Chain A
């Protein structure tokens, strides 16, 4: 029983971590809070849902369509909404409000187009689980976990070993110095935002087999994603993974012992305490912002 709770908690944590990777990238590099993050997840889930029901495309294969499509959407949103707001005195407040407004737009667009019905897809993984020595692991969530680790590794490789990754890290650490070194900050911002959005779209594909899709599904994941990003530390992917797993475990345990609402309260309290005591996150190295 104990092992089962831990296993379920870890799998749930993997999903949270996967959802928050894109947010971590945007928050860490551009230093803006994208409150529409969960709503992009919702859009990714709808895309996957319709690709599956209308075109019979497997959710995992759908990533190949959703990822590039969301890169384009990300570039567009960045150019239209985020860029005009950057570099001003009110940037912090205004990007938060603007992305909240964007979230409003996306949620209600979904409501208009697809109604508030809960939708789910049934793939060959639905309801199945793998068994390891008496522990049942939901197939969909196990694959989500695997994808999460793979994505984190690829991203880590790109950030640490490639030139463009070095540029991104430079901009993240000191924008002014990066400009002086001849890095095109605007291009790095656009790229980061687009990839961040695409990553959450990808997460939408991966979690669609195990979660219902409805216009406000993003709100739930939004809070979780922010908790995990701050817990783990900005720009730290290992941190995000650990943060995700920690929250997954807390929710899993508290959900068994108390109730779903209290489980969330526990996660939020941990979040607040970390925020007060170590705002740079569990794995964060940087100074306080």
Chain B
């Protein structure tokens, strides 16, 4: 998609999502919408490093956790507003990312090795959060002290304000991805052929590290949103493998390395999971996740490039068809 087209799609999407805000929806639907945008936001952050540069991370929950715990601890201990805590968490996540990204890219970790390293990092953060129970509350987790609706303290009683906040976050992330046009091309070049990219004068490591840091920063901000919205975190749910995997799935199913892929993926997967959970979860525990898993595997097999590639596939089919038709007519002639 061209830059202008993408900007237009972004504008239209934002307007539609803003219009949705004024619809009289039931709480459950509102919750699904917030959750969907939350994952669309995380996915957009994840996509920046993992989609464009093709370095599959299954440990991004580590940075969500760093962001969440930083802002929550700053709020609990020093009564610091999560708006500032959020930025602190983002910076902290970037530092953690640098600690890992620098050696990873410096030593040229690629493919499955990079993925395994990312899983290890998330496991380390998870274990440290459980171990530091005096500060983090260990595996029991920590809750957010209640404050009546206050914009300054990033706490609201209804779901609607959270919807607006996450919509703004999502918009910012998509806009940032759009604006990084040059870096995106560099990253794609690095993904396709690292040596060729380097030969063309692209600084491979610098671009990868920039992408990784922005990715970690965005995802960490998502962590703060998670705390403020759910008012409770524990290492298992916020630093666990499931969150890392979900972030990746949203992007891969939607279309990794595309601007709107993560958003498309989130809008399909998250409502689907929530509705499955709602309708089947109480009947037989595990059934909804079982179906979810089956759908995922089927999706990967039949649409390996994600749903964003669907128009291109259909177009290719049509071209093939017309080609066959013209060939056929030539044959007659």
Distance in Å from the Cβ of A89 to the closest Cβ of chain B?
A: 9
Q: Which residues of A contact B252 (CB under 8 A)?
A: 93-94, 97
Are A262 and B119 in contact, with the CB atoms below 8 A? no
Contacts of B127 in A (CB 8 A): 261-262, 264-265, 268
A240 CB to nearest B CB, Å? 15
Selected from A94, A98, A108, the residue in CB contact (under 8 A) with B290 is A108
Contact with B along A66-103 (1 / 0, CB 8 A): 00000000000000010011001010111011101111
Q: At the interface, yes or no: B28 with Cβ under 8 Å from chain A? A: no
CA distance A98 to B100 in the complex (A): 26
Query: What is the bound-complex CA distance between A98 and B289, given in angstroms?
Result: 14
Enumerate A104-154 residues with CB–CB distance to B below 8 Å.
104-105, 107-112, 115-116
CB pair B54–A84 under 8 Å, yes or no, is no
Chain B residues near A230: list those with CB within 8 A.
Answer: 113, 116
User: What band does the interface of chain A fall in when counting residues whose beta carbon is under 8 Å from B?
Assistant: 35 or more
Indicate if A226 sits at the interface (CB-CB under 8 A).
yes
CA–CA, A219 to B122, complex, Å?
14
A223 within 8 A of B: yes
B292 touches A104 (CB 8 A): yes
Query: For residues 215 through 264 of chain A, which have their beta carbon under 8 Å from a beta carbon of chain B?
Result: 215, 219, 223, 226-227, 230, 259, 261-262, 264
Partner of A261 from the list B108, B130, B305 (CB cut-off 8 Å) is B130
Stretch of B146-154, B202-210, B279-287 with 4 or more beta carbons under 8 angstroms from chain A: B279-287
Q: Chain A residue with minimal CB distance to B121?
A: A272
The answer, yes or no, to whether A54 is at the interface (CB within 8 Å) is: no
**Would A226 and B297 count as touching, CB distance under 8 A?**
no
Q: Is the CB of A261 within 8 A of B131?
A: yes
Q: Is the CB of B112 within 8 A of A109?
A: no
A112 to B283, CA, bound (A): 10
A116 in contact with B285 given A100-B245, A275-B116 (CB within 8 Å): yes
The reply on B256 being an interface residue by CB < 8 A is yes
Kindly state the separation between the CA atoms of A85 and B304 in the bound complex, as whole angstroms: 8
Q: A262-B131, A268-B123 are in contact. Are A33 and B115 (CB under 8 A)?
A: yes
- The residue that A98 contacts in the complex, of B107, B109, B116, B300, with Cβ under 8 A, is B300
Please state if B301 and A98 are interface contacts (CB–CB under 8 Å): yes
Contact (Cβ within 8 A) B116 A104 = no
- Which of chain B's residues 103-125 have a Cβ closer than 8 Å to chain A? 103-104, 107-113, 115-117, 119-121, 123-124
In the assembled complex, the Cα of A272 lies from the Cα of B115 at a distance in Å of: 11
Distance, CA A105 to CA B110, complexed state (A)? 28
A-chain residues with CB within 8 Å of residue B245 when the two chains form the complex: 100
Asked whether B56 is an interface residue with its Cβ less than 8 Å from the other chain, the reply is: yes
Q: Which of A97, A115, A219, A227 is the most central at the interface, judged by chain B CB atoms within 10 Å of its CB?
A: A97
Q: In the complex, what distance in Å separates the CA atom of A14 from the CA atom of B307? A: 44
Asked if B107 contacts A276 (CB within 8 A), the reply is: yes
Pick the residue among A33, A90, A105, A107 that contacts B116 (CB under 8 A): A33
Residue numbers in B under 8 Å from A101 (CB-CB): 249, 293-294, 296-297, 300
- Asked if A288 lies at the interface with its beta carbon under 8 angstroms from chain B, I say yes
A289 sits at the interface (CB 8 A): yes
Best-surrounded residue of A92, A105, A111, A269 (most CB of chain B within 10 A)? A105
The answer, among A88, A92, A104, for a CB contact under 8 Å with B112, is A92
Within 8 A of B (CB), among A18-44: 27, 31-33
Binary CB contact string for chain A from 257 to 289 against chain B (1 if under 8 A, 0 otherwise): 001011011001101100111010000000011
A268 CA to B59 CA in the complex, in Å? 13
Of the candidates B112, B121, B297, B305, the one whose C-beta lies within 8 Å of that of A105 is: B297
Q: Which residues of A contact B107 (CB under 8 A)?
A: 276-277, 279
B248 at the interface (CB under 8 A from A): yes
Contact B285 A111 (CB under 8 A): yes
B108 touches A288 (CB 8 A): yes
Is A102 touching B241 in the complex (CB atoms < 8 A)?
no
A108 to B112, CA, bound (A): 25
User: Are A112 and B121 interface neighbours, CB within 8 A?
Assistant: no
Chain B residue contacts of A269, Cβ below 8 A: 124
Known contacts A96-B112, A104-B292, A265-B124; A226 and B301 CB within 8 A of each other: no
Which listed residue (A93, A111, A223, A265) contacts B54, Cβ 8 A? A93
Docked complex Cα distance between A116 and B111 (Å): 34
User: A271 touching B292 by the CB < 8 A rule?
Assistant: no
Residue pair A93, B56 in contact (C-beta under 8 Å): yes
- Partner pick for A81 among B113, B290, B297, CB 8 A cutoff: B297
Given A261-B128, A262-B131, also A97-B119 (CB < 8 A): no
Q: B128 contacts A104, CB within 8 Å?
A: no
Assess whether B293 is in contact with A289, with CB atoms less than 8 Å apart.
Answer: no
State whether A96 touches B292 (Cβ < 8 A).
no
- Please give me the 10 A-B residue pairs with the lowest Cβ-Cβ distance, nearest first: A111-B286, A104-B293, A101-B296, A105-B293, A108-B286, A108-B290, A261-B131, A112-B286, A108-B289, A101-B297
Q: Which residues of B contact A (CB under 8 A)?
A: 54, 56, 58, 100, 103-104, 107-113, 115-117, 119-121, 123-124, 127-128, 130-131, 241, 245, 248-249, 252, 256, 284-287, 289-290, 292-294, 296-297, 300-301, 304-305
11 pairs from A and B in contact (CB 8 Å cutoff)? A31-B112, A93-B256, A94-B304, A96-B56, A104-B289, A107-B289, A108-B289, A223-B120, A262-B127, A272-B120, A289-B112
Q: Identify 14 new A-B residue pairs, CB closer than 8 A, beyond the known A102-B293, A265-B124, A276-B107.
A: A33-B116, A81-B301, A90-B304, A93-B54, A94-B252, A94-B304, A111-B285, A112-B287, A264-B123, A268-B124, A269-B124, A272-B100, A279-B113, A289-B110
Chain A residues with a Cβ under 8 A of chain B: 27, 31-33, 81, 84-85, 88, 90, 92-94, 96-98, 100-105, 107-112, 115-116, 215, 219, 223, 226-227, 230, 259, 261-262, 264-265, 268-269, 271-272, 275-277, 279, 288-289
